Structure 1
Amino acid sequence: MTQYLLSMPHDSAEEPTMATMEPAELEAALAAAGAFIEELTASGALVFAGGLHPPSTAVTVDNTGEHLALADEPFTRAPEYLGGFWVIEAPDQEVAVHWAAKASKALGARIEVRTFQEVPA
């Protein structure tokens, strides 16, 4: 079965985290995300999921030259960044989009669907 990445963008200017959310807002978001993950798990579609800290917490590692270089910053700067994701298995993109629509409704956010590449036979 094909694997898909369902990703949730966040606004880079805001960099929301669970620690900065109002308690009631956090509780509602966790409940919605939990219910969605339970549904994915029950269907057998969930591979794994996770939430990411904002880009300002990133370390970029570059060991392509003579010396290791570390930068306390994201690899790229953009108006939005990947805040959370689910990796799912689905028979086709239509089913993956169906799951993304459920995530979008549950979390009140846009969701991007991307297919993982497979090595050609």
Structure 2
Amino acid sequence: MAKYLISFPSAAMVVPDGELEAVGRDAHAVIEAAKAAGVHVFAGGIDDSVPPALVSEDGGVAQGGYPWAPALEGGFTVLELPSREEAIVWAARIAKACRCAQELRVFGVDPHS
């Protein structure tokens, strides 16, 4: 089984007025279904109110992330699934709930983790 990252940037989620509550309800229902199916690992979003910190190898800390990289933000779900096909099905369920397309990636296996 592989772990799949299903995600979207905040700007992708354009919710019509009055639908935000329904989006939240629908998204939480998909996560509850993933938990019930035993495939849920983690879900959440980047807290935009807390700026990133760039920590160097000597322990130094600079405010902000890599200046050359796009900002990391949005919503994330990690599911453990037996196939890419099943991951696509779950990503489609999340896309429908969130009213926006989802990016799908597989985590590489680190045998030491």
TM-score, length-scaled by structure 2: 0.77
**Do the aligned residues in 2 keep the contact of 1:56 with 1:74 (CA within 8 Å)?**
no
Q: Which residue of 1 aligns with 2:86?
A: 95
Query: Structure 2: which 5+ residue stretches go unaligned?
Result: 12-17
Q: Which residue of 2 aligns with 1:114?
A: 105
Query: Structure 1: which 5+ residue stretches go unaligned?
Result: 12-23
C-alpha separation in 2, matches of 1:75 and 1:30: 31
Is 2:60 the partner of 1:69?
yes
**Do the aligned residues in 2 keep the contact of 1:4 with 1:96 (CA within 8 Å)?**
yes
Q: Which residue of 2 aligns with 1:38?
A: 32
C-alpha separation in 2, matches of 1:87 and 1:70: 28
The sequence identity of aligned pairs, in percent, is 38
Letter in 2 for 1:114: R
C-alpha separation in 1, matches of 2:47 and 2:24: 16
The Cα of 1:74 is off from its aligned counterpart by 2.0
C-alpha separation in 2, matches of 1:10 and 1:114: 17
Kindly tell me the number of residue pairs found equivalent between the two proteins: 109
